[in-house]
Amino acid sequence: MGAETFWNRMANRYAAAPIADENAYQTKLAATRRLLRPDMELFEFGCGTGSTALIHAAGVRHIRAIDFSERMIEIARSKAEKAGVTNIGFEVGAIESVDLAPESLDMVLGMSILHLLKDKQAAIARVFAALKPGGYFVTSTACLTEMMPAIRYIAPLGSFLGLLPHLDVMSQSQLRGAMEAAGFVVEHEWLPQKKAALFMIARKPQA
């Protein structure tokens, strides 16, 4: 089963589910909001049903938000229309193939997505190339090696049976290393609790 099929099937349930840790989510939103400016061009990949993009829309000029699930994007567009938010463009797409102009973005969001990719290093490199010097890459990533040590054995079988999506079983240090290998400077890391997603703010150095 492909990733698109899996997440199309899960979209309605995902949209209806409550946020697992509301306090942590609000802390991440606040940390991101402090970096926003009204002239910013922001890009989000793996946007899901658009909740985070809709919250940040008022703080920037424009957001381009993509997800590889068509159903997720349908829900996101509906939410934006109901909220009267007009400065977000929701598209079906993937970070591996979407067109991104070099040094055109002020910030990129990748929330709960890097651990679902087959090649996170390639995705991080694409983000680095698309950011302007001084731009930010804000992520929240499940570092599954530390959260669920046994998942390295379970994940391949679960993915094969269609019960789980593809999972990159990485550690916190491996994620930091991947960011630094791409050229980023990691400016902030926050782990709300041991078995939670790692929030990270990385910056592309000024030329």
Specify the pTM: 0.87
Instruction: Specify the higher pLDDT residue, 1 or 169.
Output: 169
**For the chain, what is the domain count?**
1
pLDDT at 160: 40
**Side chain identity, residue 98:** V
Question: Do the beta carbons of residue 137 and residue 131 sit within 8 Å?
Answer: yes
* CATH code for the domain of 196: 3.40.50.150
Highest mean pLDDT among 16-20, 156-160, 186-190: 186-190
- Per DSSP (E only), the strands in the chain are 41-45, 62-67, 88-92, 105-111, 131-141, 185-190, 198-203
Please give the mean pLDDT across all residues of the chain.
Answer: 87
Structural domain containing residue 89 = 3-203
**Side chain identity, residue 82:** K
Specify the 3-state DSSP secondary structure of 194: coil
Question: CA–CA separation, 206 vs 127, rounded Å?
Answer: 15
Q: Judging by beta carbons within 10 Å of its beta carbon (0-12, 13-18, 19+), is residue 32 exposed, middle or buried?
A: buried
DSSP letters, 55-105, are HHGGGSSEEEEEES-HHHHHHHHHHHHHHT--SEEEEE--TTTS---TT-E
